[in-house]
Structure 1
């Protein structure tokens, strides 16, 4: 991993861990059904309100619709650029196509590849859990919407 990608990965992990301070540790974690439902709401919201308004709402930290405990949405363009992020608006505009998890998995690249061949899919990777503040296995449900990928992930 090059130095820039490593810095981005560290910043992302730190931001997500810091965001977890707002979630109570005793609340149950989101489940797969909730993640899938939130992604579907996100896609429907974008379709009904337009891309610009949809991405802004997904990125808005106090959105009740797209933030629930450790569950939030992230949206990437098909080139790997983040265009909405539910816990860290500083991620918006950055390309993460080459970012790797702790095991070296290029999970955004995998999302892009899956999105090109499937309309909906699940993808597994490791990421900092905002509640435990530890790197844990995570799975994300994703749907392609035109040239965008809308995802919501849960910790296993």
Structure 2
């Protein structure tokens, strides 16, 4: 009666194959998750495209496009917002209900007056990064957000990334 013997070499081969399979699955899942979030360089590029779009198409057409979900200025968790330096929301790619509201006194969950801070930064810088917390449309959780902004006249044109 033939008996199957598990030797060290056989166990090592099976363990190695299982480990490789597990790691391949983990890496595939990680790259899929990472692909769902825009990186900082894409935020900069989108803001620069948005500024040109405003200059070429005019504010009314541009702001409507920025506020349209699924439009050309939406990519995963990245979208455009435009605020007057007084804190009035002129366009918002995630929250159309904010358009027309003055949010100068808005605070993030840590109490940071992030719209006021953004307006103050624009008075001293043509472009800048700002960090605060906001609801991520992809995860539906409040997360750290890095917002890149360029001043255009009396407005801030911004696009932000989460979890960077």
Q: Is the TM value for this pair above 0.5?
A: yes
Q: How does 1:1-156 map to 2 (within 5 A)?
A: 27-63=35-71, 65-156=72-163
Spell out structure 1 runs of 4+ moving beyond 6 A. none
**1:26: how far off?**
7.4
Q: Which has the higher contact order (CA 8 A, sep 6+)?
A: 1
CA RMSD of aligned residues (A): 1.5
**1:28: how far off?**
2.5
Residue correspondences, number = 132
Q: Deviations over 1:49-84 (max 9, x none)?
A: 111111111111131x20001000110011000000
**1:25: how far off?**
6.5
1: CA distance, partners of 2:132 / 2:119? 14
1: CA distance, partners of 2:64 / 2:141? 28
In structure 1, the residue corresponding to 2:86 is in which secondary structure?
A: coil
Which structure 2 residue ranges, 5 or more long, are not aligned?
1-31
2: CA distance, partners of 1:137 / 1:52? 30
Bigger CA radius of gyration: 2
Q: Deviations over 1:72-97 (max 9, x none)?
A: 01100110000001112111000110
Which structure 1 residue ranges, 5 or more long, are not aligned?
1-23
* TM-score, normalization by structure 1: 0.81
